[in-house]
Amino acid sequence: MISYLKGTLESKAEAQVELDVGGVGYCVNVPLSTFQKLPETGARLKLLISESTAMYGGDTSYYGFIATEEKEIFILLKSVSKIGAKAALDILSKVSKSFPDFKEAILKKNTSVLTGLLGLTPKTAEKLILGLKGKIKKLELKGDMKMMVKDEQSLLDAVEGLVSMGYRESEAKEAVSSACVNMPKEPSAESIIRKALKHFKR
């Protein structure tokens, strides 16, 4: 089993990189959080690796991470029933906005944070709460919570308010997610909407 790969970054895209390790090219799938930290092509890079082999003798895929906590959360996500490696990587990219908030939302069964701020579907949120509540508590994560919103109704009202202005629900959720970073602990729906509107003016 490969623990990590260290080599030259040959190419990079949002979901996959090519790493030259001693003349052998490895295609490695990466989450958004890792992609955003990648150096320029041609630089040396070390990626922590998790392998996944398709059922019935299929190919082996490599999933790479810069930070240890990214790999740990990826492995936790894969441990949930009916969540494979690709789905786990997609979920990881979404919840990487704030791992501490993700952990807190799972522990407190806060589906509004998982769906409204971190962009998961209600079905996936419920599945993760059931599958991770007994596992994620022991996970040590760096950093502080960024989305200090305890009033779930204010999140729902903010998204609904933006939708009523003509924005798509997916756009509204993304804007609300960005707006809630580093806001006061108990922001109102109105204050979230005001900050979210700035997201659309960028």
Where in the chain are the domains? 4-66, 69-138, 152-200
Cα separations in angstroms, 40 against 9, 26, 68: 8, 17, 21
Under CATH, what is the fold of the domain 69-138? Answer: DNA polymerase; domain 1 (1.10.150)
Asked whether the whole model's pTM tops 0.95, one would answer: no
Judging by beta carbons within 10 Å of its beta carbon (0-12, 13-18, 19+), is residue 105 exposed, middle or buried?
A: buried
Q: Which two tokens stand for residue 146?
A: 């960024």
- Would you state the pLDDT for residue 146? 61
Instruction: Identify the architecture of domain 4-66 in CATH.
Output: Beta Barrel (2.40)
- Right CATH for 152-200 from 3.40.190.150, 1.10.1740.10, 1.10.8.10, 3.40.720.10: 1.10.8.10
Helix segments in the chain, DSSP class H: 32-35, 68-78, 85-95, 99-107, 111-112, 122-132, 152-164, 169-179, 189-200
**Contact status, residue 136 vs residue 92, Cβ threshold 8 Å:** no
Q: How many CB atoms sit inside 10 A of residue 57's CB?
A: 6
- The secondary element (H helix, E strand) that includes residue 62 is strand 60-65
| Ranges in the chain, pLDDT < 70 | 55-57, 117, 143-152, 182, 184-185, 202
> Among candidates 144, 163, 161, 151, which has minimal Cα distance to 187?
151
Q: What is the pLDDT of residue 26?
A: 96
pLDDT tens-digit map of 75-104 = 999 999 889 999 999 999 988 888 888 888
Q: For residue 113, which of 199, 166, 168, 192 has the smallest C-alpha distance? A: 192
Provide the token pair at 114: 């998982």
pLDDT for the residue 49: 97
